[in-house]
Structure 1
């Protein structure tokens, strides 16, 4: 009888131990990227990183997490914040810390439209005097296909004198129409994107389509898989931020805020 009781006790101990391990593993597996917004950026990058790591240590200490927390990426222009893998419990703990404005999960964002003119409520054809010259248009999207007829530089002179940007030449070339292009992605994108290439070249088509609307040459009978047969008319610079039609919000934030400075600097710095 005593032996039977001992066997039952051992069995229960094994069950409860396994349940405890499973709970812990489940908690760790529930981690996902969260964006932690801390308001205005700090005075310097070193201070920001020290502050963000301190916040992570407070969260780890408060929740008993066994995994060392690390920053996936951080923001250093226009606003302060960072991205880190957290459980829901840790995210709630983080949201209650002094200096943290908000905490929200990273989400997918989809490219929503191919009808840009109607989407933004603008008239496509407007009669006006042609006073514009030396205009540089910056586009942010999935990349661009430089060989497209929309970006042929026939009849174009050299880029405006104010242009001071760059063209990433890996698997890519610019001209007097498409005067600059660069990839603006993070290590996080490289890890989460299946078709990553180190080039601004468009693998999806959406970026090329959007750029041709904004600043493309007149191309007769242009279409997308045979639909919307039309004419497209419009220096172009291109910033690749979306490798796929689905883009993570954390990466959009990482790219968009520094880009305002980058575009201005390309023409003035």
Structure 2
């Protein structure tokens, strides 16, 4: 059986990406983040997830039914969903909805966070806070390599007992990827996949 050379793989991969990205809205639906007023949840719903699904089922189902991707309850109360323009307009008019925002891929701002945030090595908040010692930092990332030396937990203290997050495992992210430095991980890829692959 013939093997593909590395250069062939690098040539073929962009072709697949171009093909899939051209399908991004083949079904007429786009990904949106919907922010709702938590206090508006009717008591007959046992959870916000049930309420979010009910809101989506109440929308017109043409050309396709709206599809729930994620429900959110920590930083904001809401959900992300695949919606048609008609469904989007209906949600924007709903009295419980604060905003309906298109879900968009974002470009990286920097790889030098302290400089980007204006921290100085010699004075100010950065040095006064012991350069972030004992601080848990949350990062939204496009992908990480847990095996990289920068994620080594050598010499670090145990994870704080008050930490309440999870290490979500996946096909390319085994539980062993989390350690005392990389103390939690979650994958939010459904909106990206539906945008880039048209599903």
TM-score range, shorter chain: 0.5 to 0.7
C-alpha distance in structure 2 between counterparts of 1:193 and 1:92, whole Å: 19
**Which of 166, 170, 177 in structure 2 is aligned with 1:172?**
177
User: Does structure 1 residue 80 correspond to structure 2 residue 59?
Assistant: no
Give the superposition deviation at 1:192: 5.6
Q: Which has the larger radius of gyration?
A: 1
Bigger fraction of residues in strand: 1
Bigger fraction of residues in helix: 1
Q: How does 1:57-206 map to 2 (within 5 A)?
A: 57-60=57-60, 65=62, 67-126=64-123, 135-140=134-139, 141=141, 142-148=143-149, 151=152, 153=154, 156=155, 159=157, 162-163=160-161, 170=175, 172=177, 174=179, 178-186=180-188, 188=190, 191=193
Give the superposition deviation at 1:49: 2.8
Give the superposition deviation at 1:67: 2.8
Give the superposition deviation at 1:113: 0.7
The Cα RMSD (Å) is 4.0
Q: Is the 8 A contact 2:66 2:81 kept in 1?
A: yes
C-alpha distance in structure 1 between counterparts of 2:44 and 2:122, whole Å: 47
Q: Is the 8 A contact 1:28 1:87 kept in 2?
A: no
Unpaired runs of at least 5, structure 2: 1-24
Q: How many residues are matched?
A: 159
- Residues 120 and 67 of structure 1, relative CA distance in 2, 3 Å threshold: same
Give the superposition deviation at 1:91: 0.5
Query: 1:118 is paired with a residue of what secondary structure?
Result: helix
- Greater relative contact order, per chain length (Cα 8 Å cut-off, separation 6+): 2
Give the superposition deviation at 1:118: 2.5
- Residues 76 and 191 of structure 1, relative CA distance in 2, 3 Å threshold: same
Give the superposition deviation at 1:106: 0.8
C-alpha distance in structure 1 between counterparts of 2:128 and 2:91, whole Å: 56
Alignment correspondent of 2:13 = none
After superposition, give the CA deviation of every residue in 1:119-165 in whole Å (9 maximum; x if it has no partner).
Answer: 11111234978989972443423335445168462xx3x62584465
Unpaired runs of at least 5, structure 1: 1-26, 195-269
Give the superposition deviation at 1:79: 2.7
Q: Is the 8 A contact 1:146 1:173 kept in 2?
A: no
C-alpha distance in structure 1 between counterparts of 2:55 and 2:157, whole Å: 47
Query: 1:138 is paired with a residue of what secondary structure?
Result: coil
